[in-house]
């Protein structure tokens, strides 16, 4: 126990020092404030549109659960992550082979550290930001406190569940498919109430039974995940028939930069499925929010504009995938400008994110008329181009760093809000003036795409200058 | 025309002077080494000469190109092997060399890949993902990538790290043969024995300053490069300045 506590303290300190060194203590320390301010704006906007706090709470629990799923998956699904993601930054975890500590214990402590870290830096600001709007709509302080507790629980459920599934996958792929399929079948066929077994159930029904039933899976997965997970550290040598030339030929990719990015994503842990998964998270959240808004306000927002916008924004994760596996410094050795590198990355980004987004639009036709979704076919690629341009210009080839740099994060968030808020308002007011809002949304996303294209083109010279200074 | 010429090249990072008034001339066909302790400015010099960094002041010419005004022309003309860099994790050596060929706009690099793999002994690993290669195998792939376009000049930062003794000998032989054909190699190293054995000329840098130049084959009787290094670096360090590698 003493060792566990010692490791926990060390990992927390390491995490803080890492970010302090990257961004400076004040910039990193200001991060929760930025989250709180941005979130408070969002809550207020939802309150003004007539969305009740309970509907917001439902959507947020879903969002945070999916966020937890992603956090739990990233960095924990294989040796690539161990070496390429955690190896550089997380000395304690990477030292598992040389420290006299079991991998399972290190992983459990790492998980706990991440949970505390995200609870303080992301979820606490969300809870605080929700308070003003919630109090105005008559929600009691006690219920706001409960909201924060169950929100942390939903996040923990996401993290521990994905780790457990990743752990199962290290032993048998079938062992993942079977329980997921059984659960899905139970929900669809007999209407099994899966929500009752999540922390959100406690928010809905503050009782001891709901608390035990809702948090039991979190505890179970927190134990199972580290126990099941087997780090792959064998020296098995993976081979691959040369695909570079063939793909480069098919894509007419002269510089090979797009092909390189596609191969990096498809051969790293999770392959192209991680793109589909992260877009699926956005799809699930959008569907949930649309349902909640309709239930709470009676409004029927435009699914095409909403899905197109949010899936386009969700392409940000694809940006981080296509830039994660190389170092900008590498390209300074080749006779190629960073402008060409960004152009190659943009192509790879669109080739990966658009089919995934379009697939989810197609899935949405199960619930919405295709006519209502058609506008999403235009909005999605245009918003995705904007997201690429903004990210490339603001964060360069190190997109994940902006998540923890307050100044970059605020600049990035403001640039996305500039387009996404009017688009989502357009989706909400769609029933009152369908043609005008549709034309307006397409026009806005077109302007955004042009701006994004220009920003993307300027990103190369900007970062080239920085690197050469 | 010298392959490399610099005049009073200086680089400052804030208050830190990484390179101070470095003036060098490296003729074509030379196997040249920049020798210095850790943090003496060797890597900074290579980065400036290959257009990766801009100097604070001073001028440089590499194969007739200005690395400040036209860095891409320099990089087209030379090969670069940086210290501690691996081939991309998720490409095989074959694919990586194809990628380098594409990015260098070579018409067909596939034909020469087998030759390079034979020369640096990684043919049986050509289709193994780079992430699963050993350190030495990765270094051999990186060496091939630096030479694959048959440049007239190659910059190599610590060329022999992670290589076994037999491979080290083979690589040294390759460098000598390459320079005998009129090409130039610019090495950066802090291993004195490598510079002494291999190079036709050695420049010693310390704290960003050029403190001595010698031809290891023309040292005075009984004089060793290590003695020169000790003396010159010792003298320069009597005046404290800062530099980074």
CATH number (domain holding residue B87): 3.40.50.300
Instruction: Tell me whether residue B27 is in a domain.
Output: yes
A256 in contact with B at a CB cutoff of 8 Å? yes
Mean pLDDT across B92-97: 96
Query: Would you call A256 and B102 a contact, using CB atoms and an 8 Å cutoff?
Result: yes
**Whole-number pLDDT of residue A232:** 56
Task: List A residues 204-243 in contact with B (Cβ-Cβ < 8 A).
Answer: 235-243
Query: Would you call B132 and A268 a contact, using CB atoms and an 8 Å cutoff?
Result: no
Residues in chain B with CB shorter than 8 Å from the CB of A467 are 52
Instruction: Tell me whether residue B18 is in a domain.
Output: yes
With H, G, I as helix, E, B as strand and everything else as coil, classify residue B124. Answer: helix
Residues in chain A with CB shorter than 8 Å from the CB of B80 are 333
Mean pLDDT over each residue of chain B, to the nearest integer: 91
What whole-number distance in Å separates Cα of residue B55 and Cα of residue A186?
Answer: 67
At residue B27 the predicted structure's pLDDT band, cuts being 50, 70 and 90, is very high
Q: pLDDT, tens digit, for every residue of B68-82?
A: 999 999 999 999 999
| Angle ∠(A363,A369,A374) on CA atoms, nearest 5 | 80
ipTM given for this complex = 0.90
**Whole-number pLDDT of residue B206:** 93
Mean pLDDT across B41-54: 95
What whole-number distance in Å separates Cα of residue B164 and Cα of residue B136?
Answer: 7
User: Considering Cα of A98, then A102, then A104, then A108, what sign does the dihedral take?
Assistant: negative
Residues in chain B with CB shorter than 8 Å from the CB of A259 are 99, 102
Instruction: Tell me whether residue B226 is in a domain.
Output: no
Q: Which domain holds residue B43?
A: 4-194+210-216
Mean pLDDT across A176-205: 88
Residue pair A84/A325 in contact (Cβ under 8 Å)? The answer is: yes
**Whole-number pLDDT of residue A87:** 44
Q: pLDDT, tens digit, for every residue of A368-390?
A: 999 999 999 999 999 999 999 99
**Is residue B150 predicted with pLDDT exceeding 60?**
yes
**Whole-number pLDDT of residue A96:** 63
Mean pLDDT over each residue of chain A, to the nearest integer: 85
Instruction: Tell me whether residue B166 is in a domain.
Output: yes
Helices (H), A74-207: 79-80, 87-89, 91-94, 103-118, 124-136, 141-169, 174-190, 200-204
Name the residue facing B91 among A237, A257, A260 (closest C-beta). A260
Mean pLDDT across B206-216: 92
Residues in chain B with CB shorter than 8 Å from the CB of A466 are none
% residues pLDDT > 70 (chain A): 91
**Is residue B198 predicted with pLDDT exceeding 80?**
yes
Instruction: Tell me whether residue B180 is in a domain.
Output: yes
Neighbouring C-beta atoms of residue B209, cutoff 10 Å: 20
User: Considering Cα of B153, then B156, then B162, then B166, what sign does the dihedral take?
Assistant: positive
Q: pLDDT, tens digit, for every residue of A239-275?
A: 888 899 999 999 999 999 999 999 999 988 778 888 8
**Whole-number pLDDT of residue A95:** 63
**Is residue A86 predicted with pLDDT exceeding 60?**
no
**Whole-number pLDDT of residue A79:** 42
**Is residue B245 predicted with pLDDT exceeding 80?**
no
> Can you tell me which residue has the tokens 């490296």?
B26
Name the residue facing B128 among A237, A335, A468 (closest C-beta). A237
Residue of A nearest to B75 (CA): A335
Chain A: closest CA distance from residue B205 (Å): 22
Instruction: Tell me whether residue B114 is in a domain.
Output: yes
At residue A336 the predicted structure's pLDDT band, cuts being 50, 70 and 90, is very high
B152 in contact with A at a CB cutoff of 8 Å? no
Mean pLDDT across A72-96: 52
Residue B131, class by beta-carbon neighbours within 10 Å (0-12 exposed, 13-18 middle, 19+ buried)?
buried
Q: What is the DSSP letter of B17?
A: E
Instruction: Tell me whether residue B235 is in a domain.
Output: no
Strand order of the β-sheet with B153-157 is: B78-81, B153-157, B184-189, B31-35, B201-206, B209-214
**Whole-number pLDDT of residue B191:** 85
A247 in contact with B at a CB cutoff of 8 Å? no
At residue B19 the predicted structure's pLDDT band, cuts being 50, 70 and 90, is very high
The number of domains in chain B is: 1
Q: Which of A97-101, A395-399, B53-57 has the lowest mean pLDDT?
A: A97-101
Instruction: Tell me whether residue B118 is in a domain.
Output: yes
Looking at per-residue confidence, does A218 or A235 come out higher? A218
**Is residue A365 predicted with pLDDT exceeding 60?**
yes
**Is residue B232 predicted with pLDDT exceeding 90?**
no
Mean pLDDT across A91-99: 63
CA distances B103 to A170, A212, B97, B99, B106, Å, are: 37, 59, 10, 6, 8
B99 in contact with A at a CB cutoff of 8 Å? yes
Six token digits for residue B154: 């190659």
Q: Which of A82-96, A99-113, A265-279 has the lowest mean pLDDT?
A: A82-96
Q: Model pTM greater than 0.90?
A: no
B57 in contact with A at a CB cutoff of 8 Å? no
């Amino acid at each position: 126990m003493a060792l566990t506590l010692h490791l926990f303290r060390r990992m927390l300190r390491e995490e803080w020092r890492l970010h302090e060194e990257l961004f400076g203590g004040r910039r990193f320390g200001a991060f929760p404030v930025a989250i709180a301010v941005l979130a408070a704006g969002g809550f207020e906007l939802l309150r003004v549109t007539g969305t009740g706090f309970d509907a917001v709470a439902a959507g947020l629990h879903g969002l945070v659960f999916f966020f937890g799923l992603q956090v739990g998956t990233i960095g924990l699904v294989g040796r690539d992550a161990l070496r390429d993601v955690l190896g550089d930054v997380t000395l304690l975890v990477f030292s598992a082979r040389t420290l006299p500590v079991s991998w399972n214990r290190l992983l459990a402590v790492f998980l706990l550290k991440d949970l505390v870290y995200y609870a303080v830096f992301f979820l606490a600001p969300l809870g605080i930001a929700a308070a003003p709007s919630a109090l105005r709509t008559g929600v009691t302080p006690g219920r706001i406190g409960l909201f924060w507790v169950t929100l942390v629980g939903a996040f923990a459920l996401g993290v521990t569940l994905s780790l457990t599934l990743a752990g199962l996958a290290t032993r048998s792929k079938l062992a993942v498919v079977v329980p997921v399929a059984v659960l899905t079948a139970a929900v669809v066929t007999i209407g099994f109430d899966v929500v009752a077994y999540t922390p959100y159930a406690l928010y809905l029904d503050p009782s001891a039974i709901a608390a035990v039933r809702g948090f039991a899976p979190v505890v179970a997965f927190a134990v199972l995940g580290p126990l099941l997970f087997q780090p792959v550290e064998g020296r098995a040598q993976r081979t691959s028939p040369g695909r570079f030339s063939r793909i480069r030929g098919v894509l007419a990719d002269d510089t090979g930069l797009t092909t390189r990015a596609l191969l990096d994503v498809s051969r790293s842990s999770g392959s192209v499925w991680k793109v589909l998964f992260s877009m699926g998270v956005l799809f699930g959240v959008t569907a949930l929010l649309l349902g909640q808004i309709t239930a709470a306000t009676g409004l029927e927002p435009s699914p095409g504009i909403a899905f197109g916008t949010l899936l386009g924004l969700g392409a940000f994760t694809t940006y981080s995938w296509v830039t994660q596996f190389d170092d900008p410094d590498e390209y300074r050795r080749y006779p190629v400008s960073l402008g060409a590198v960004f152009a190659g990355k943009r192509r790879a980004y669109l080739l990966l994110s658009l089919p995934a987004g379009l697939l989810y639009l197609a899935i949405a036709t199960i619930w919405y008329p295709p006519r209502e979704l058609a506008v999403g076919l235009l909005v999605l690629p245009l918003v995705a181009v904007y997201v690429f341009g903004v990210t490339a210009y603001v964060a360069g080839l190190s997109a994940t760093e902006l998540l923890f740099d307050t100044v970059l994060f605020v600049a990035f968030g403001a640039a996305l809000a500039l387009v996404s808020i009017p688009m989502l308002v357009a989706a909400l007011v769609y029933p009152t003036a369908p043609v005008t809002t549709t034309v307006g949304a397409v026009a806005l996303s077109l302007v955004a795409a042009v701006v994004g294209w220009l920003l993307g083109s300027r990103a190369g010279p900007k970062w080239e200058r920085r690197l050469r200074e | 025309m010298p392959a490399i010429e610099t005049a009073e090249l200086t680089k400052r990072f804030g208050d830190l002077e990484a390179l101070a008034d470095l003036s060098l001339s490296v003729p074509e066909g030379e196997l040249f080494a920049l020798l210095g302790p850790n943090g003496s400015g060797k890597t900074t010099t290579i980065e400036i000469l290959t257009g990766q960094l801009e100097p604070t002041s001073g001028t440089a010419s590499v194969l007739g190109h200005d690395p400040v005004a036209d860095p891409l022309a320099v990089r087209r003309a030379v090969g670069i092997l940086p210290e501690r860099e691996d081939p991309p994790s998720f490409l095989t050596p074959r694919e990586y060399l194809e990628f380098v060929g594409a990015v260098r706009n070579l018409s067909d690099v596939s034909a020469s890949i087998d030759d390079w793999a034979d020369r640096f002994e990684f043919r049986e690993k050509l289709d193994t993902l780079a992430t699963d290669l050993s350190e030495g195998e990765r270094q051999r792939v990186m060496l091939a990538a630096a030479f694959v376009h048959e440049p007239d000049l190659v910059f190599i930062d610590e060329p022999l790290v992670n290589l076994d003794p037999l491979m080290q000998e083979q690589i040294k032989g390759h460098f000598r043969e390459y320079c005998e054909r009129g090409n130039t190699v610019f090495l950066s190293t802090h291993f004195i024995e490598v510079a002494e054995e291999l190079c036709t000329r050695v420049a010693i840098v310390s704290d960003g300053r050029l403190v001595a130049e010698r031809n290891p084959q023309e040292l005075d009787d009984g004089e060793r490069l290590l003695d020169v290094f000790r003396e010159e670096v010792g003298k320069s360090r009597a005046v404290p300045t800062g530099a980074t590698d």
